[in-house]
Amino acid sequence: MLLAVDVGNTALNLGIYEGKELRAEWSVATDRRKTQDEYGLLLLALLEYQGFRPEQIQSVVVASSVPPVVPTLDRMFQKYFHVKPLVVGPGVKTGVVIRYDNPREVGSDRIVIAVAAYEKYGGPLIVVDFGTATIFDVISKEGEYVGGVMAPGINVSVEALFTQAAKLPRIELVKPATVLARNTVHAMQSGVIFGFAGQVDEVVARLKEEMGAAADGMKVIATGDMAELVAPETSVIEAIDPYLNLDGLRIIYERNTARGER
């Protein structure tokens, strides 16, 4: 079995694949202070809870937007699973041409998502990733990563409201019944959810306008932790695919090993 690990700024997402089937997935908080033993014991507990044995994990692939965590995970997998992980980065075959001023500025997490999205939906397409940041990734008809847009994420924005405005409370992020609000919590929920939906519609419209004929037939796909909350309120998102990051890691692993085998 293959263990795919996507290390984000907020969450560490893990998925176990048997062939192309995602058998189990977990999300835990990313913590740069955790030691290899803490991560190892946590992962062993998750596996046991789901009915897996450590020796079933024959291969590991990792992508990270938090570089300091990678050496810790590398040591952990070698100590507890006797596996050297494949870390997505320079020298790893992804199959994606990056049309960026400086390709090294594009995080491996962006490329992983682009790989999965293009393989599953073809191109051209825009992937809207609702994570720590809200990121719009643009992939051409030929599967090239041509650029993107980055904005503060939903949770980051809500936390900023709470910490920077003395009288505003922390709120539960649920869709309110109406846009017009008559209390503070409702007003914040409305502003966040419908405001981010409007942001998506406007950014996608501008991207398509700038791309002209290259945007013909362009699909818009949503992924990320908050996708299911915001995507239904937009007018442009056609599908929600929460596991693009894990699927992309599986695909990249297969492209870098003989038939995806260890």
Q: How far apart are CA 109 and CA 220, in angstroms?
A: 18
Query: Which CATH entry fits the domain spanning 103-247: 3.30.420.40, 3.30.160.150, 3.30.930.10, 3.40.109.10?
Result: 3.30.420.40
User: 159: Cβ–Cβ under 8 A, 6 or more apart, which residues?
Assistant: none
What pLDDT is recorded for position 258? 65
Domain ranges of the chain: 2-87, 103-247
Long-range contacts of 175-178 (CB under 8 A, 24+ apart): 175/229, 175/233
Query: Which CATH entry fits the domain spanning 2-87: 3.30.420.40, 3.20.20.120, 3.90.1170.50, 3.40.50.1820?
Result: 3.30.420.40
CA distances from 19 to 56, 199, 247, 260 (A): 13, 38, 11, 8
DSSP letter, residue 98: B
Under 8 Å between Cβ of 181 and 36: no
Question: Mean pLDDT in each 10-residue stretch from start to end of the chain (262 residues)?
Answer: 94 95 95 94 95 95 94 96 93 91 89 96 96 95 96 90 84 91 93 96 98 96 95 97 96 83 45
Catalytic residue among 31, 37, 101, 109: 109
Mark whether 37 is an active-site residue: no
Same topology for domains 2-87 and 103-247, yes or no?
A: yes
